[in-house]
Amino acid sequence: MTEADRTRERLIETYRRKAAHYDVTSRLSPVPGYPQHGQRLLAVRALGLHAGATVVDLACGTGLNFALLERAIGPRGRIVGVDLTDAMLARAERRVEAAGWSNVRLVQADAAGFDFPTGVDAVLSTYALTQVPDRGLVIAHAAAALGPGGRLAVLDLKIPSVTPRWLSRLGVAVVGVGSSASLDEWIARRPWEEIRMAARSSLAETSWAELCFGTAFLVSGRVRG
């Protein structure tokens, strides 16, 4: 088993445990009152969606972005929600059924190996990609799947550049990246920088914004051509 396989297994186990309470606990993450909904709204706006658009939500979890996406694309649009963890997708399915959306397809897959459908107008990923080992590859594949003018937006947490190390550790421990070792690795690796670079090399007109005192970032861009 490779290191990437082990990380994948650990993530699945973690999110199987979290799935049942994810919608409630995520509202308290990274701290109660954190403007997660406002950040999601910014990410969806960055996609420039139109009625009838097809959007892929990578690592969609329980589908917390779906209502915002539905509002933007309407019933003629299409959402494809992709996630690694069966239990998170089961929650997403319940959300879709409860809302009566008939234009959502849920796929259990690793974002890095996902076979994108044709005609994708936009790809979104929120609060997930910094945990995915192959994040650069995920962005390259997503960009390749987008048609001309298609847009990608990635929103996730980061460590503010000027934060003392002890405060970073405390903050990320609250977020729950995982074990102490993976937390150290997350901080040391600065995965948000890798994501920024990957977006810059695969997309045109990228924009990078630090949100909430540098505790989150939104990177977005448009496909060349």
Question: Under the rule (CB under 6 A), what is the footprint of ligand SAM?
Answer: 11, 15, 26, 59-61, 64, 82-85, 88, 110-112, 126-128, 131-132
Q: Which is nearer to ligand SAM, 94 or 224 (CB)?
A: 94
Helix (H, G, I), strand (E, B) or coil at 210: strand
- 112: nearest Cα among 135, 91, 131: 135
Q: Which is nearer to ligand SAM, 69 or 199 (CB)?
A: 69
Q: Which is nearer to ligand SAM, 84 or 166 (CB)?
A: 84
CA 222/CA 124 separation, integer angstroms = 12
Beta carbon of residue 110, minimum distance to ligand SAM (angstroms, whole number): 4
The torsion of the CA quartet 32, 38, 44, 45, rounded to 10 degrees, works out to -170
Q: Which is nearer to ligand SAM, 61 or 150 (CB)?
A: 61
Query: Terminus-to-terminus CA distance in the chain, angstroms?
Result: 40
Question: What letter represents residue 204's amino acid?
Answer: A
Beta carbon of residue 224, minimum distance to ligand SAM (angstroms, whole number): 25
For residue 84, give both structure tokens.
């690694």
Q: Which residue has the tokens 């397809």?
A: 105
Helix (H, G, I), strand (E, B) or coil at 106: strand
Beta carbon of residue 60, minimum distance to ligand SAM (angstroms, whole number): 5
> Residue 3, class by beta-carbon neighbours within 10 Å (0-12 exposed, 13-18 middle, 19+ buried)?
exposed
Helix (H, G, I), strand (E, B) or coil at 183: helix
Beta carbon of residue 163, minimum distance to ligand SAM (angstroms, whole number): 21
Q: Which is nearer to ligand SAM, 60 or 145 (CB)?
A: 60
The residue sitting closest to ligand SAM, measured at its beta carbon, is 61
Beta carbon of residue 63, minimum distance to ligand SAM (angstroms, whole number): 8
Q: Which is nearer to ligand SAM, 28 or 204 (CB)?
A: 28
Beta bridge partners of 146: 120
Beta carbon of residue 202, minimum distance to ligand SAM (angstroms, whole number): 18
